[in-house]
Chains A and B, each alone.
Chain A
């Protein structure tokens, strides 16, 4: 899970404070990935040094600092959303996260992103198929390895198809639209994890 890119995605909606980012991150990942606020500030500092975000505060890393994504940060986020997760094999969970995050990024076309990953998965499947086709017929071990990868990748391709169809039936509102802004969570009020789960 890339905390940097998740923070960039949250900032793509507009300027935010560190505490707010930490809270929104946990809300949007279904609290599956707890993230402490220290980690958020360290990551923000690194992003700032890399020129991907900028802050309005004067020194320090206190809660009074508000962070804004830069143009370079936007380009980094856009590139990451379309980059296959690792060459071989792409972990499915990271793919799920990329698709989920892309729904929150203003201007990102989730169907284009799904297609970029679909093409990558099918290209990988073609390579495994050729591996199997070129192997000796009695090379059972290689056949079994190739089959395992082919079926795993098929599962990913089918998930991408299902995601594509589901998102066409129920399009997510554009996060930049006023309707989405109205539905966005209220300004950060620190809640305990147990409270938030209720």
Chain B
């Protein structure tokens, strides 16, 4: 799999002088298409900054962010926004659906902003909703949907079109454990179709469903999980030291 998202020695400093805060210190991280990576760390460790910089919503103070091999910071603001819409999908804890649009209109909005006509956009939106099991809710408004359904719509919106990167901030934070697990499975399935997924969380259950967990502390990556062993050996207790 090719690297879809790459952070190269990314640092972010807010403020100056005595008020200077180093939110990220030389973070390097690659996520391949098809891979789902979690970033875990306590409050203030730099998780959210990492996500907004990875999504090109914010510029790093130093270092580079490559999305599908392209450094977005070199492009004009207008082109940056277009590339962001085309390449990167976002999922938030509070769903961020527009209340005045139906489920399918929310999903197709990024396509329509890029000039795709409603006739082409709607079937694509219906397909994405179908893959997430919420096709029947397509013409309902967000306040007519349950929390789990809203997050499915948000994921459908995030993986629409030829998105290469899926970024998620505590995507199961507002859901109960059963709906949370369903959302995790869908995120995983979306990534397995070739998208690079990066999710920030402090929820160990959400981290457990990913391929790799990166631990962030004081703006630096301090550790990461190794490739997990297969599950075969789990149900036969190992030797006790």
Contact call B238/A118, Cβ cutoff below 8 A: no
- Complex interface: chain B residues within 8 A of A121 (CB): 204
Q: Which residues of B contact A (CB under 8 A)?
A: 40, 42, 185, 188, 202, 204-205, 207-210, 213, 215, 222-226, 228-231, 233-235, 237-241
- Complex interface: chain B residues within 8 A of A115 (CB): 215, 222-223
B59 to chain A, nearest CB (A): 30
A17 at the interface (CB under 8 A from B): no
| Minimum CB distance partner of A130 in chain B | B231
- Complex interface: chain B residues within 8 A of A127 (CB): 228-231, 234
A-B contact pairs, 25 of them (CB 8 A): A83-B241, A86-B241, A88-B233, A88-B234, A115-B215, A118-B215, A119-B213, A119-B215, A119-B225, A122-B40, A122-B204, A122-B213, A123-B228, A125-B204, A125-B205, A125-B207, A126-B213, A126-B225, A128-B231, A131-B231, A131-B234, A133-B188, A149-B234, A154-B205, A158-B204
Compute how far the CA of A157 lies from the CA of B209 in the bound complex, rounded to whole angstroms: 15
A134 at the interface (CB under 8 A from B): yes
A132 to chain B, nearest CB (A): 8
B187 to chain A, nearest CB (A): 12
Compute how far the CA of A45 lies from the CA of B204 in the bound complex, rounded to whole angstroms: 43
- Complex interface: chain A residues within 8 A of B241 (CB): 83, 85-86
Contact call A128/B234, Cβ cutoff below 8 A: yes
State whether A130 and B228 are in contact (beta carbons under 8 Å apart), knowing that A88-B234, A153-B204, A161-B42 are contacts in the complex: yes
State whether A122 and B238 are in contact (beta carbons under 8 Å apart), knowing that A127-B231, A153-B204, A164-B42 are contacts in the complex: no
A77 at the interface (CB under 8 A from B): no
- Complex interface: chain B residues within 8 A of A122 (CB): 40, 204, 207-208, 213, 225
